[in-house]
Structure 1
Amino acid sequence: MHPRVAIVGIAIESSTFTPHRADLVDFVIRRDGQLLDYYPFLREGHPLRAAAEWSPLMQARAIPGGAVRAAAYQAMEEEILTLLRQGGPWDGIFLDIHGAMSVEGATDAEGALASRVRTCVGPEPVISASTDLHGNVTRDLLEAVDLITCYRMAPHEDEMESRERSVRNLLDRVASGTRPVKAWVPVPVLLPGEKTSTRIEPAKGLYAKVAEVAAQEGVLDAAVWVGYAWADEPRCRAAVVVTGDDSQVVAAEAEGLAHTFWQARDRFSFVAPAGTLQECLSQAKQSAARPFLISDSGDNPTAGGAGDVTWTLARLLEDPAIRSGELHAVYASIPDPAGALAAAAAGTGASVSIEVGARVDDRHQPPVLLEGTVEHVSITDPVAGTVALIAVDGLRVIVTERRKPYHRRQDFAHAGVDPALADIVVVKIGYLEPYLYEIAADWRLALTPGGVDQDLLRLGHHRIDRPMYPFDADMDAPELTAVMVPPRH
């Protein structure tokens, strides 16, 4: 008989340094066939589809933001636990989470969720957790699950590959009836993702070693978590977990990866040349490279920023070369429900005067006034809702009803603008996702303010475990001894 495997999870990356709060409306909740089809490796025709009796119960996913409201989290958790109780018994649980979810009033949201799932289903089912490499790993999380893995690429071009690995490991252990040992090494380093991209060294070499370790005899899987830098919780730090059946091998390899990470700590640097916004704009103006992309990194909604900080937009609106039309720039984007709806109601070609932004995060700049022409309106974007493109002299501003990152060609197409034709494109992002990376003739990372400020030292962490690099740059070398989490019997 095929094993019975349930799919559940809640996934969001949460900054505790933004006033944004994630609510139920921010989550896309998938159930039943919609959830099963979300995973390419579980669709009809794929061998894994026929390898188990799948029960896609409920998985909730949101773009990054602030901490999840307690009531919203409790509603999602209760649905998961209720469905697990009603549908059991289970042979396996595929737990699809992020690793950096913060919940109001909690300090280890994923550890608590995994522990409650374990209590609900009992000791017998194999639980396999798939996470983001920007997640955090605690002892509570490790003890609740039998298997855990994370991405090996940043940007996360391998996220589905990682989830498939999690599922394959799950089915392997259900079939064998054996549980692996886990070797866990917390590493006292906390760096922003923009300094740990696997496109460049030292992260590129570090993650190449992960695959080599995973291929060794006696090892089932290996994973390195960078940790999540924009939450102020004791669990936030880098970590290594090596899973397998040979205790000595997994311990030695976990410690080896941890030492490699620690020794490289001061060689991590920004994935692109970085500077102030003004420095980045000056370089863009002096360059012949077009389009020239600039990351508005401090308010990146894909890392947890509120997305509506107007600090950068205000300065673009004041720039003489852009105001004169000498340079054509695109700003993607600013969420403002009232502004997007007002522009849409005015219609394409209409002149408008509307204030936008800073409805959630107004700590750095108040709302800005857009006095210009509506060039495009869309009401079909499934994430952003109503979208308006407003031209203010040489600047095209994408105003959205709901928070949305602009990463893909179709995102811009919904907004009626082709970024490849602009002189300067400013996106609320850190490192560039593949489409933006491909079209960028040149690129700079602007060190702007917001809930995911790249300057961690000015954010004010006070709850992380210390000492921690780079907060304590001269700290003594840690022991980096593996903590062994034995198999569940």
Structure 2
Amino acid sequence: MDASADRRSPRIALGGIIHETHSFAETPTTLADFAAQSLHEGADMLTAMAETRSAIGGMIQGAQERGWTLLPTAYGAAMPGGIVTAHAYQTLLERLLARLEAALPVDGVLLALHGAMVTEISLDTESHTLEAVRGVVGPDVPIVVVLDMHGNIGRPTVELADVLIAFNTNPHVDPHARGLESAAVMAQLLQGEIRPAAALVQPPLLLAPQATGTDDLPLRAVHARAAEMRAEPSVISICVMGGFAYADTPDTGPSLIVTTDDNPALARRYAQELADILLAHRDAALPRFLPPEEAVAQALASPGGPYILVDSADNIGGGTPGDGTDALRAMLAHDVQEGTIVLADPEAVAACWEAGEGAQVSLSVGGKVDRWHGQPVAVQGEVRRLSPGTFTCELPDNHFASFFGNVIQMGRTVWLRVGGVNIILTERKIPPFDLAQLRGVGVIPEQQKMIVVKSAVAYRAAYLPIAAGVIEMDTSGLCTANLSRFPYRHLRRPLPS
């Protein structure tokens, strides 16, 4: 559709509902959890998200550069966690659809979704959302969707969207670029330059998040071949989806989605080839996981610092509460000097704020949300600093900014010094995506002997540049790499392995 011939600029609706759902997490995700991180409607969505490095920020920029009329609907993104309540999802969807209906007619729809959202009413929430959007705009209006590469993608999602575009990186440092790409693809659709034909292949495999780094095998090999395929003019988009193993659904696991310009046979052949490459590298070794006591001892015996102790079983970005205590116990037992850990513990935060800066306190920290992440630890220490916990990210492109923007909001925050250990207590769980999380409260990351990160892969962009070494820990938690511990009920057959 040529804007000049139509005497008006294309009218493009914009919105998104984003959540990475851990089906086995005990605490549900509510509307308040979306409001705590990123929840916007109408013009407020453009104001809040336009300057961010998120996918929707890229969509906004791409649309504005083309002079399109942007019609913002609703955007909600919450920290990964338990199954999303029916009330939360229905409220978000109703707000998006109401504004979409009010904006009709539209020439196209740009959506930011995740791909691994599970709600009380749907195991395949992305398809449910797309079906509802299709019901409003009809079958002929193009819909382009940007997904997290950890999505579990089923056939209905592929069929309901015109083109799917996924992040190519983990840690996610390219969402803004993918948002720009979605606008470029939408321009081609509006001008009738392409006729998308998509193919989906779901190999019988389940990858722990620790195995989904895009700089590592198996995904590194898949992306290398995908880059060659993308260079061909007939290829519109390739989505290399690592999947999210903790969402218990029939589509859980990796998927390869290739979209070509009116060449379904090529799309099928390329998708199958990429799936075969993934399966060929399925046995790529996971890192060696050390018990926390051994990990701390190894860091202490090594020169320099900081050493990054990876507590991936309490991976906040995978839906855990971020209050696991195994690593803290080990650091205290070894009398570590300049060791740092962040724990989400609103109860402990409240006690420290009541005591005030400089106070000596005795309290228990961590291990309070569920039975998966260790017992609370009794500590005595000094309240070094109290902070409102709002910091601007140091990295312009970081995993956090992918969905929430560039401002970290941890709620009230405490720097508690226990012996030589720095315990950063927060009201809200925030993954370790940016060093501002530590520096903003007064702890200098580069001066630490060891830092515990509650993450699987996403910490790397911020922490590897300052790391003297990385040590993976075998801790307790909902995001353990041992997937056999989970009572799956919905995985497709044959069981991924």
* TM-score > 0.5, shorter chain as reference: yes
Give the match for residue 490 of structure 2.
Answer: 463
Q: Does structure 2 conserve the Cα–Cα contact (< 8 Å) formed by 1:355 and 1:367?
A: yes
Distance (Å, rounded) in 2 between the aligned partners of 1:336 and 1:440: 27
TM-superposition CA deviations, 1:29-76 (whole Å, max 9, x none): 1332223444554567x7853341111221111221111111111110
1:301 equivalent in alignment to 2:316: yes
Please list, as runs of the form range in 1=range in 2, the aligned pairs for 1:316-335 lying within 5 A after superposition.
316-317=331-332, 319-322=333-336, 327-331=337-341, 333-335=342-344
Give the match for residue 442 of structure 1.
Answer: 469
Q: Does structure 1 conserve the Cα–Cα contact (< 8 Å) formed by 2:20 and 2:116?
A: yes
Which stretch shows the higher mean deviation, 118-127 or 353-362?
A: 353-362
Which stretch shows the higher mean deviation, 360-369 or 69-78?
A: 360-369
Q: Does structure 1 conserve the Cα–Cα contact (< 8 Å) formed by 2:296 and 2:330?
A: no
Gaps of 5+ in 1: 471-489
1:137 equivalent in alignment to 2:153: yes
Give the match for residue 4 of structure 1.
Answer: 11
Which stretch shows the higher mean deviation, 459-468 or 105-114?
A: 459-468
Counterpart pick for 1:311 among 314, 317, 326: 326
TM-superposition CA deviations, 1:305-327 (whole Å, max 9, x none): 1212333333433x1332xxxx3
4+ runs deviating over 6 angstroms: none
Kindly state the Cα deviation for residue 441 of structure 1 after the two structures are TM-superposed.
Answer: 0.6
Kindly state the Cα deviation for residue 107 of structure 1 after the two structures are TM-superposed.
Answer: 1.1
Distance (Å, rounded) in 2 between the aligned partners of 1:72 and 1:189: 31
Kindly state the Cα deviation for residue 422 of structure 1 after the two structures are TM-superposed.
Answer: 1.0
Counterpart pick for 2:295 among 244, 263, 280: 280
Please list, as runs of the form range in 1=range in 2, the aligned pairs for 1:199-348 lying within 5 A after superposition.
199-244=215-260, 245-267=262-284, 269-270=285-286, 272-317=287-332, 319-322=333-336, 327-331=337-341, 333-348=342-357
Distance (Å, rounded) in 1 between the aligned partners of 2:194 and 2:308: 50
Please list, as runs of the form range in 1=range in 2, the aligned pairs for 1:40-439 lying within 5 A after superposition.
40-41=57-58, 48-176=64-192, 178-244=194-260, 245-267=262-284, 269-270=285-286, 272-317=287-332, 319-322=333-336, 327-331=337-341, 333-381=342-390, 382-431=408-457, 432-439=459-466
Q: Does structure 2 conserve the Cα–Cα contact (< 8 Å) formed by 1:36 and 1:56?
A: no
Kindly state the Cα deviation for residue 125 of structure 1 after the two structures are TM-superposed.
Answer: 1.2
Give the match for residue 476 of structure 1.
Answer: none
Name the aligned partner's letter for residue 335 of structure 1: A
Partner of 2:238, secondary structure, is: strand
Distance (Å, rounded) in 1 between the aligned partners of 2:418 and 2:456: 25
Kindly state the Cα deviation for residue 95 of structure 1 after the two structures are TM-superposed.
Answer: 1.1
Name the aligned partner's letter for residue 21 of structure 1: P
Distance (Å, rounded) in 2 between the aligned partners of 1:461 and 1:447: 22
TM-superposition CA deviations, 1:248-276 (whole Å, max 9, x none): 22221111111111111112x33x54322
Distance (Å, rounded) in 1 between the aligned partners of 2:256 and 2:442: 44
Kindly state the Cα deviation for residue 177 of structure 1 after the two structures are TM-superposed.
Answer: 6.6
Name the aligned partner's letter for residue 427 of structure 2: E
Q: Does structure 2 conserve the Cα–Cα contact (< 8 Å) formed by 1:308 and 1:361?
A: no
Which stretch shows the higher mean deviation, 388-397 or 24-33?
A: 24-33
Distance (Å, rounded) in 1 between the aligned partners of 2:58 and 2:282: 36
Name the aligned partner's letter for residue 451 of structure 2: V
Distance (Å, rounded) in 2 between the aligned partners of 1:47 and 1:364: 44
Q: Does structure 1 conserve the Cα–Cα contact (< 8 Å) formed by 2:59 and 2:110?
A: no
Distance (Å, rounded) in 1 between the aligned partners of 2:320 and 2:463: 19
Counterpart pick for 1:23 among 7, 19, 30: 30
Name the aligned partner's letter for residue 127 of structure 2: G
RMSD of aligned C-alpha atoms?
Answer: 1.9
TM-superposition CA deviations, 1:129-156 (whole Å, max 9, x none): 1101110111111121111011111111
Q: What is the aligned residue count?
A: 461
Distance (Å, rounded) in 2 between the aligned partners of 1:373 and 1:236: 45
Distance (Å, rounded) in 2 between the aligned partners of 1:436 and 1:315: 21
Q: Does structure 2 conserve the Cα–Cα contact (< 8 Å) formed by 1:99 and 1:132?
A: yes
Name the aligned partner's letter for residue 471 of structure 2: R
> In percent, how many aligned pairs have the same letter?
30
Q: Does structure 2 conserve the Cα–Cα contact (< 8 Å) formed by 1:430 and 1:445?
A: no
